[in-house]
A and B are shown apart, each in its own frame.
Chain A
């Protein structure tokens, strides 16, 4: 393969990977923004999203057949279902812990993650589930470089979701409320903002986006399993740190950067695809050492 082919192939891989990471990273960053919690369970929410998408697809394909429309409907169903799951998790597990010491809420988040993961493990007995879309692997042949329709549609959908989110956060009432809550919760209460509803909406949207990413990952990789959220959760966190945790644009940017780094990292001699995960983890450590506020994040001033 010439270097040009390699470049464009990896560019398309990087875009797809990057959009998954970005969608999951958005949830991390939004939830961190409103309740200052790193939601460990977020990667597992993504995994549940993949399973819900799979379930919805088998329901929908009976009516709509193997079409892109069917996939979109399944993805939307999964987003709604998992969005409400996120709200339930927040109400049951995180709400009572908000006043507790930081360590307690972190362990609670870990417990939620384990409950989700092991429920999926118990239901699937640890096997991979084939995620068949029946759409084939058609694509466009740009001379030497072949780009699957699938990748284009996935990246397009992810881009649409991110633009919609940007619109929501910047232009709507609840978006504004969300930004306000992330700055000062007590002041928001005094100004008559229903803070607990804003937090619930944040979990709804964050989990919904993770579910969209999960369903898309199922379509892209063709199989899903209970542990798929673990690494993606970790990498999405890396993406959020690269972009600057708490910054929504940063999460999108960080996701894309990480996706690209991983895709092109596989081409570097001595790293290869085997060490891909170690590579992105090293990026996380380096980022935390040299620029913990990320590319777009503001430095956090702690008030005593």
Chain B
């Protein structure tokens, strides 16, 4: 089913073209360099909003939300090698679960987060369960449909507020700290992104992470070695959907209002583009991709509807000329 040799031949072509990347790899192989770099990035993230205006803080918050979403999709696409074209659906499930529970039932925001995790997992199992047994192509097209169905249901149901969505979602508070300003939410998202990075990293190096790698490279060989491929793939799919739901939960309280159009197919495509652009399976690459996808439109504002066309052509060119992305995973 998969071609075990092709992955190797591909990565053999890359080193010559990537002098700079090789230097980077060597640089980051030193643990002190690596942690120094992480500390630097973290300091920049913490200090930055104190020096810049509210507008930039808001954009950075959005970029950090994308980091969480992209790290989640990266588990599905990058680690397990499954294509999910309806990732916005899980983002929506998280956002709507929190929105409905806090607004209609008056629940505490922090209590709704486990509920969002549960609903997203259920959605993940319902979609992934039947399709993951089949060729991975089926998952791609079923998730494509699922994304639309979730948005469609949100628009038609009463409890989700129909086409206008939910408004006035109360902002949360934590031990008396009322989180409501742009800056507060920015720091919440920094925290969320850091947690997502650590979780991704731990998963990547875990037993499950190695099982994903194996299944991605050769499903049949993995099965022969005693890996239950359906269970392993389902785990990737459900964990990815939980990341998406977490992003959605904080997105809902950050904006205070959600509508079906926030969770369109375009959203799923942008997250996927970020993952593919940055380098599937590699955390720094994915983060880079997320920042590029969020920040680039700020520079291309005049282009309007051409923006997505440019992204689409970019995606095609990456796949044809540099399928591993800007900062690829060395293991693949």
Q: Which residues of A contact B (CB under 8 A)?
A: 37-38, 40, 92-93, 96-97, 99-104, 106-108, 110-112, 114-115, 117-119, 121-122, 125-126, 230-231, 234, 237, 274-275, 277-278, 281, 284-285, 288-289, 292, 300, 302, 304
A104, A231, A275, A284, most chain B CB atoms within 10 A = A104
- In the assembled complex, the Cα of A302 lies from the Cα of B133 at a distance in Å of 13
Of A38, A107, A281, the contact of B149 (CB 8 Å cutoff): A281
Instruction: Assess whether B153 is interfacial by the CB under 8 Å rule.
Output: yes
Task: Indicate whether B156 reaches chain A with its CB closer than 8 angstroms.
Answer: yes
Contacts A101-B2, A274-B156 given; does A111 touch B130 at CB 8 Å: no
**Interface majority SS (helix, strand, loop, mixed), chain B:** helix
Min CB–CB distance A115 → chain B (angstroms): 4
| CB contact under 8 A between A101 and B3, given known A106-B83, A114-B269, A114-B315 | yes
Distance, CA A102 to CA B137, complexed state (A): 8
CA of A230 to CA of B85, assembled, Å: 13
Some 26 contacts from A to B, beta carbons below 8 A apart, are A40-B85, A99-B6, A100-B323, A102-B2, A103-B77, A103-B81, A103-B83, A106-B140, A107-B315, A108-B316, A108-B320, A110-B140, A114-B316, A115-B309, A115-B313, A118-B305, A119-B309, A122-B309, A275-B156, A278-B152, A281-B146, A288-B130, A288-B134, A292-B133, A292-B138, A302-B1
Say yes or no: A288 contacts B320, CB within 8 Å. no
- Asked whether, in the complex, the Cβ of A97 is within 8 Å of the Cβ of B319, the reply is yes
CB proximity of B115 to chain A, nearest CB, Å: 23
Contact of B22 with A by CB under 8 A: no
Q: Which residues of B contact A117 (CB under 8 A)?
A: 312
A135 to B145, CA, bound (A): 36
B142–A103 CB distance below 8 A: no
> Residues of B at under 8 Å CB distance from A?
1-3, 6-7, 10, 77, 81-83, 85, 127, 130-131, 133-138, 140-142, 144-146, 148-149, 152-153, 156, 220, 265, 269, 272, 276, 280, 305-306, 308-309, 311-313, 315-316, 319-320, 323
List, in ascending order, chain B residues with CB within 8 A of A234's CB: 141, 144-145, 148
Smallest CB separation, B143 vs chain A (Å): 11
Which residue on A lies nearest to B130, using beta carbons?
A: A289
Q: How far is the CA of A93 from the CA of B118 in the complex (A)?
A: 40
- Residues in B whose Cβ lies below 8 Å from that of A289: 130
Residue of B nearest to A28 (CB): B141
Cβ contact within 8 Å between A104 and B141: no
Interface centre among B77, B82, B140 (most CB of A within 10 A): B140
User: Is A230 a contact partner of B140 (Cβ separation < 8 A)?
Assistant: no
Chain B residue numbers with a CB within 8 Å of A285 are: 127, 130, 142
Residue of A nearest to B324 (CB): A104
- Complex CA–CA separation, A103 to B139 (angstroms): 11
Closest beta carbon of chain A to B220's beta carbon, Å: 5
**CB distance A125 to B152 under 8 Å?**
no
Q: Do B83 and A114 touch (CB < 8 A)?
A: no
Nearest B residue (CB) for A112: B316
| Contact yes or no, A93 B3, CB < 8 A | no
CA distance A121 to B304 in the complex (A): 11
Known A-B contacts: A107-B272, A110-B272, A114-B312. Give 10 more (CB < 8 A).
A38-B141, A40-B144, A107-B315, A114-B315, A119-B309, A125-B305, A234-B141, A274-B156, A281-B149, A302-B1
Residues of B within 8 A of A38 (CB): 137-138, 140-141
Give the interface centre of B308, B313, B315, B316 by most chain A CB atoms within 10 Å.
Answer: B316
- Given A102-B137, A284-B145, A288-B134: A277 and B316 within 8 A (CB)? no
Measured CA separation A230–B145 after assembly (Å): 9
Q: Which residues of B contact A275 (CB under 8 A)?
A: 156
Report which of B1, B131, B309 forms a contact with A121, defined as CB distance below 8 A: B309
Closest to B275 in A: A107
User: Which of B81, B83, B85, B220 has its CB near the most chain A CB atoms (within 10 A)?
Assistant: B83
In the complex the two chains form, is A122's CB within 8 Å of B130's CB? no
- A275→B148 CA distance, assembly (Å): 12
* Among all A-B residue pairs, the 9 with the closest Cβ atoms: A114-B312, A118-B309, A111-B316, A289-B130, A111-B315, A108-B319, A38-B137, A115-B312, A118-B308
Known: A103-B83, A114-B315. Is A40-B2 also a contact (CB below 8 A)?
no
Nearest neighbor of A285 in chain B, beta-carbon distance: B130
Bound: A259/B130 CA distance, A: 24
